[in-house]
Amino acid sequence: MNSFSHAAPFAARLGEYERRRGRFYAYASTWFGCFSEVMLDSSAIIILYITMLGGSATMSMLSTALTALAAIFLTIPSAGIADRIGLRRAYTLSCHIGCAGYLLMAAAPIAGAPADRYLVLTGCLVYCLSRPLFGVTWYAVLDNILLPAERGGFFGTMRFSYLSLTAASFFILSMALGKNPPAWAMQLVIAITGLMLLGRKYCLDRLPVNDKERGALDIKKSLAVSIRNGPLTGWAIYSCCLTLAFSSLVPLTLIYLKNEIRANAEVVQWISVAYMGGMICGYLLTARLLRRFGVRVIQPAGHVFYALGGFGLFFFGPWMAGFYIIIGVISFLLGFWAANCMCCYSIELMALARPGNKTMSSAYLATFSSIGTASSRFATSLILGAGVLAPHWGKWGLTFSSYQTLFLFFAALQTFFLLMLFLVPSIVPKHEDYYEPA
């Protein structure tokens, strides 16, 4: 433990102007880079694109699972790579690989059917391979410009700004593309999104980075420090359970609307915009909510609503008046609480990561979270593809689909995982290990 520096944080050595300038460029980097992440994780565009090329529901769901799959196997090695080559080279490599993946997706229709849909998945995979390397550098870069007291406000403002930008952009896109968008229009949007990752690199190049203060080059030693950090490990296990039960809800809802309800592309895109709108409101209020209630209240509240949202998606079926409005409201509220929980995730990560071990701590936590996401989405893909659930079944005079069965399962799983809340560091009153909250 003593091998890690206890000197003043790099951010504390910077002046107020330098930190403020650094925060601006950090915000700007997300304005360029957020489109690629949101398009794959929360938007309906990639799902609609794969469907347009003749892909199945299983293939659409699989595209959303590749990010987590890559993170499971590559996040910890990526931390070692970042420590070895430095933060600047690491995020530069990530941006270039991510851009190539999106350009491959945009060019996929040139190959013709059925190769085109598989090229889209390959492009998704290439992009997803870049994300672990960026993820382990991002929090380490931010640690160079943020004091502990600045974290909550920064993450709330950052995510509010980039989600406002993406939601407004995707809203305009949904209006411009219409119900049956042409393939060339989808290709153009995807290609531009990929090129914007180069803008992310441009902004990050203007941040002050203390590349001299790297983590341990011995991956085993650095990983051992993270494993022995009890609160960090507890938070990692809890995050894994939370993502296992939540991460499939949003993409499954979009696929449910497209394949089961037969909603047109415009409606599906509107529902995804409602989810992003909820995240925008969440990020707008998160700093205020965290100051008033803290992580120990916000995180359990979000967890409870995840369960309620899953039950709502199960019970409110297409037989109800205003069905699309109900689904939109549930999606909005899921986005609202997802925003707050994501800020809690970031704050706890930066509070728990030992000085000198930031990249590995980030990688360690991200690996657990990705295990939950990948397990959830791969299992959902396999269940949909294998047809192991009854397509329709009746109860209480109502007819439910296999998609609604999955909503019920995830809601029940969320309810069960409420037992894991005792692993949240801010809920535990005392810490004998490293913990530096704001």
Residue boundaries of the structural domains of the chain: 11-209+216-423
With a pLDDT cut of 70, the percent of the chain lying above it is 90
Q: Which has more confidence, 111 or 398?
A: 111
Q: Would you say residue 1 has pLDDT above 50?
A: no
Residues 6+ apart with CB under 8 A from 112: none
Task: Please report which helix (H) or strand (E) contains residue 398, including its range.
Answer: strand 398-401
In whole angstroms, what is the distance from residue 187 CA to residue 172 CA? Answer: 16
Residues 6+ apart with CB under 8 A from 124: 40, 46, 63, 66, 101, 105
Q: Which has more confidence, 149 or 199?
A: 199
Residue 91 binned pLDDT confidence (cut-offs 50, 70, 90): very high
pLDDT for 254-279, tens place per residue? 888 888 888 877 788 788 888 888 88
Per-residue tokens: 12: 């504390």
Q: What is the DSSP string of 309-327?
A: HHHHHHHS-TTSTTHHHHH
Query: For position 3, what pLDDT does the model report?
Result: 42
Mean of the per-residue pLDDT values of the chain = 83
Per-residue tokens: 7: 């000197």
DSSP letter, residue 259: I
Contact 340, 289 (CB under 8 A): yes
In whole angstroms, what is the distance from residue 151 CA to residue 287 CA? Answer: 9
Residue 127 binned pLDDT confidence (cut-offs 50, 70, 90): very high
pLDDT for 17-32, tens place per residue? 888 888 899 999 999 9
3-state secondary structure of 182: coil
Residue 96 binned pLDDT confidence (cut-offs 50, 70, 90): very high
Q: Would you say residue 95 has pLDDT above 80?
A: yes
Query: For position 92, what pLDDT does the model report?
Result: 94
Q: Which has more confidence, 340 or 219?
A: 340
Task: For residue 390, count other CB atoms closer than 10 A to its CB.
Answer: 11
Query: For position 432, what pLDDT does the model report?
Result: 53
Q: Would you say residue 426 has pLDDT above 80?
A: no
Task: For residue 162, count other CB atoms closer than 10 A to its CB.
Answer: 24
Q: Which has more confidence, 193 or 176?
A: 193
Residue of 53, 369, 31, 19 lying closest to 210 (CA atoms): 19
Residue whose pair of structure tokens reads 């609202």 in the numeric block: 336
Residue 70: what are its φ and ψ, rounded to 5°? -60, -40
| Range with top average pLDDT, 79-83, 198-202, 311-315 | 198-202
One-letter amino acid at 316 equals F
Residue 200 binned pLDDT confidence (cut-offs 50, 70, 90): very high
Task: For residue 259, count other CB atoms closer than 10 A to its CB.
Answer: 17
Q: Which has more confidence, 347 or 128?
A: 128
* Domain 11-209+216-423, CATH among 2.40.30.10, 3.40.50.720, 1.20.1250.20, 3.90.650.10: 1.20.1250.20
Query: For position 354, what pLDDT does the model report?
Result: 73
In whole angstroms, what is the distance from residue 195 CA to residue 128 CA? Answer: 15
Query: For position 2, what pLDDT does the model report?
Result: 40
Query: For position 242, what pLDDT does the model report?
Result: 92
Contact 55, 381 (CB under 8 A): no
Query: For position 5, what pLDDT does the model report?
Result: 42
Q: Would you say residue 117 has pLDDT above 90?
A: no
Q: Would you say residue 366 has pLDDT above 50?
A: yes
| Range with top average pLDDT, 244-248, 276-280, 380-384 | 244-248
Task: Please report which helix (H) or strand (E) contains residue 373, including its range.
Answer: helix 358-386
Query: For position 7, what pLDDT does the model report?
Result: 46
Q: Would you say residue 216 has pLDDT above 60?
A: no
Query: For position 431, what pLDDT does the model report?
Result: 52
